[in-house]
């Protein structure tokens, strides 16, 4: 969260007094003087010291969810269970939302947070964050399919996908299994990419997004908070905003 908001949360002083602390170089993050009031900090990643006193503050919420089939990736839905409904009421915050979208019949890794800036950084097309999917299709996959994905699939109508990496695990005329790594998130993209090469997706699961990977202890429908190690791996995305200010 913004550093000036942390100081406000800790009742360090009035807005004017807080501004003076920054100007005087009395605000330090990880032993470095910070003068930008909008600098982003998280308690698991940063130590904040103001005028020689270390602050104890709370940060954003970060959950890794193994989304099950049949649940919609939305904050609210009048007909279906949402991914937010799977988070216990006592752990929800008012601005909690899913980062990115998985179709109702798709399962796997979903990050749920109330940090809007982090979500923006992870999903922005220019960031080219890699998402890995496990895919099962109803036909044989071969070297030609690998090449077409590597060159960039073109949908009917001319829409062009970025090059993607297809790793074929098993292949037979009846069913094939593969990993697909993509760096964008067009609507129904994975399913449409395989339809473009004449195969229908019969199972789809997201395994990873950027530095986050779905862990084996999470059964479909289960979730947990990100640990300190995972948050550290996300640090480059926290710091992007700081560098741009």
- The rounded distance, in Å, linking the Cα atoms of 108 and 185 is 15
Provide the pLDDT for residue 241: 55
- Token pair 């741009």: residue: 244
Provide the pLDDT for residue 127: 84
Regarding whether 121 and 217 lie in a shared domain, the answer is yes
| Total domains present in the chain | 3
- CATH number of the domain where residue 19 is located: 3.10.290.10
Regarding whether 199 and 145 lie in a shared domain, the answer is yes
Q: Which pair of structure tokens corresponds to residue 101?
A: 């979208």
* Last residue within a domain, chosen from 36, 58, 80: 58
Per-residue pLDDT of the chain (245 residues; tens, 9 = 90+): 788 888 988 888 888 888 999 999 999 999 999 998 888 888 878 899 999 999 988 888 999 999 999 999 999 999 999 999 999 999 999 999 999 999 999 999 999 999 988 888 898 888 889 999 999 999 999 999 999 999 999 998 889 999 999 999 999 999 999 999 999 988 899 999 999 999 999 999 999 999 999 999 999 999 999 998 999 898 887 765 555 54
Active-site hit among 103, 114, 142, 181 = 103
CA distances from 51 to 20, 46, 55, 146 (A): 11, 16, 10, 58
In a domain, residue 183? The reply is: yes
- CATH number of the domain where residue 191 is located: 3.30.70.1560
Regarding whether 9 and 110 lie in a shared domain, the answer is no
Provide the pLDDT for residue 27: 94
- Containing domain of residue 99, as a range? 62-125+211-226
Provide the pLDDT for residue 43: 85
- CATH number of the domain where residue 220 is located: 3.30.70.580
Provide the pLDDT for residue 242: 54
In a domain, residue 244? The reply is: no
Regarding whether 73 and 48 lie in a shared domain, the answer is no
Regarding whether 192 and 134 lie in a shared domain, the answer is yes
In a domain, residue 241? The reply is: no
pLDDT tens, residue by residue, 42-71: 887 889 999 999 998 888 899 999 999 999
Regarding whether 201 and 152 lie in a shared domain, the answer is yes
Q: SS3 for the chain, per residue?
A: CEHHHHHHHCCCCCHHHHHHHHHCCCEEECCEECCCCCCECCCCCCCEEECCEECCCCCCCEEEEEECCCCECCCCCCCCCECHHHCCHHHCCCCCEEECCCCCCCEEEEEEECCHHHHHHHHCHHHCCCEEEEEEECCCCCHHHHHHHHHCCECCCCCECCCCEEEEEECCCCCEEEEEEECCCCCCHHHHHHHHCCCCEEEEEEEEECCEECCCCCCCCCEEECCHHHHHHCHHHHHHHHHHC
Provide the pLDDT for residue 239: 60
CA dihedral 152, 98, 67, 176 (to 10 degrees): 0
- Phi/psi for 174 (5° steps) reads -90, -35
Provide the pLDDT for residue 240: 56
Regarding whether 118 and 76 lie in a shared domain, the answer is yes
In a domain, residue 242? The reply is: no
Told to judge if 103 belongs to the known catalytic residues of this protein, a careful annotator would answer yes
Regarding whether 179 and 168 lie in a shared domain, the answer is yes
pLDDT tens, residue by residue, 85-98: 999 999 999 999 99
């Amino acid at each position: 969260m913004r550093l000036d908001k942390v100081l406000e949360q800790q009742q360090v002083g009035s807005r004017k007094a807080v501004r003076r602390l920054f100007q005087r170089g009395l605000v330090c993050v990880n032993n470095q003087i910070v003068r930008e009031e909008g600098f982003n900090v998280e308690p698991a990643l940063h130590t904040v010291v103001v005028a020689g006193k270390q602050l104890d503050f709370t940060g954003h919420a970060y959950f890794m969810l193994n989304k099950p089939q049949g649940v919609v990736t939305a904050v609210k839905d009048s007909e279906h269970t949402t991914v937010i409904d799977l988070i216990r009421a006592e752990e929800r915050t008012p601005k909690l939302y899913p980062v990115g979208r998985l179709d109702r019949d798709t399962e796997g890794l979903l990050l749920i947070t109330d940090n809007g800036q982090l979500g923006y950084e992870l999903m922005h097309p220019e960031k080219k964050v890699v998402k890995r999917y496990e895919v099962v299709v109803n036909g044989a996959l071969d070297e030609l399919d690998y090449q077409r994905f590597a060159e960039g699939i073109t949908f009917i109508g001319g829409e062009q996908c970025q090059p993607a990496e297809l790793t074929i695990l098993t292949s037979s005329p009846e069913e094939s299994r593969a990993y697909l790594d993509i760096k964008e998130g067009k609507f129904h993209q994975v399913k449409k990419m395989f339809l473009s090469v004449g195969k229908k997706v019969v199972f789809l699961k997201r395994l990873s997004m950027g530095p986050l990977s779905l862990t084996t202890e999470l059964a479909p429908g289960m979730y947990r908070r990100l640990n300190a190690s995972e948050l550290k791996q996300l640090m480059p995305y926290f710091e992007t905003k700081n560098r741009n200010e």
